[in-house]
Amino acid sequence: MDMIWKIRGREHDLSRRGWIMGVLNVTPDSFSDGGSFASPDAAIAHGLHMVSEGASVLDVGGESTRPGARPVPAADEMARVLPVIKGLRAAGGEFLISIDTSKAAVAEAALAEGADIVNDVTGLRGEPEMSAAVARSGAGVVIMHMQGTPMTMQASPHYGDVVEDVGDFFRQAIRRAVACGIDPMSIAIDPGFGFGKTPEHNRQLLHSLPAFTAPGRPLLIGLSRKSFLGWIAGSPRIEDRFWPGVALTSFCRERGAKIFRVHDVRPHREALRMTEAIMGDA
């Protein structure tokens, strides 16, 4: 089945070769790398390094969405992300830039500086202006499922059936987005692993990934360094989450996922390409 993601009027074919999305946090408090790339120069250099290792997209975020995180003012978020986006775009290259935000004002400012994609953890539910901003720009958009907010999402996640509930959310969210003028070909979806889910919920979603390819939109997986991997590995240490994450990139690609949001680009890209070669998609 053809898998096209339309971004800023350009159609990108993900049918045979998936993408790596490199995580570029410019926050002081993200769960695994907060403060590591707080200065624009450090963030730009790291972003370009990830591109050199095979990232097709850089996902720039200025507000932590770790469990328990509090929102930051839009002005602070823009001060963090806009110089980085401007610097990355000035560097040239074929890579795309995603803005990881749930604020319409931040998204619009980032798109004006050259971002191509809006990655909204609220699934376009956080601010009503967000859908209009995406529609006007023709940007790609990632609609993610989250139960609750980052501050509350892990307090007591519950579902009737997590696979059915998340699937219903996507069907409704895509309809709402299209009604707001967003091109359905511009939409990608993300089940939101760890965003209002227990480890068992995450496991069930992974087991049922093909159910989320039914809408015909690219499926994004964001599991890199998350606590669920520690649950699998039986260790609370972040460094012990690396290899389980690489293994899941291979597993999820075979199950239909197309975009992988990761911190460590090269090993995930190698796992992705090896899996595609075995599948006959390379």
Residue 282 is classified by DSSP as -
Q: Which is the catalytic residue, given 80, 225, 261, 269? A: 261
Q: Which is the catalytic residue, given 197, 217, 226, 269? A: 226
| Residue 226 annotated in active site | yes
Give the C-alpha separation, 125 to 75, whole Å: 20
- The residue among 104, 67, 101 whose CA lies nearest residue 84 is 101
Residue 218 is classified by DSSP as P
Give the C-alpha separation, 262 to 206, whole Å: 17
**Which H or E element spans position 99?**
strand 96-100
211 to each of 217, 256, 258, 272, how far by Cα in Å? 12, 9, 14, 21
| Residue 261 annotated in active site | yes
- The residue among 77, 94, 194, 72 whose CA lies nearest residue 144 is 194
Instruction: Give catalytic residue positions.
Output: 226, 261
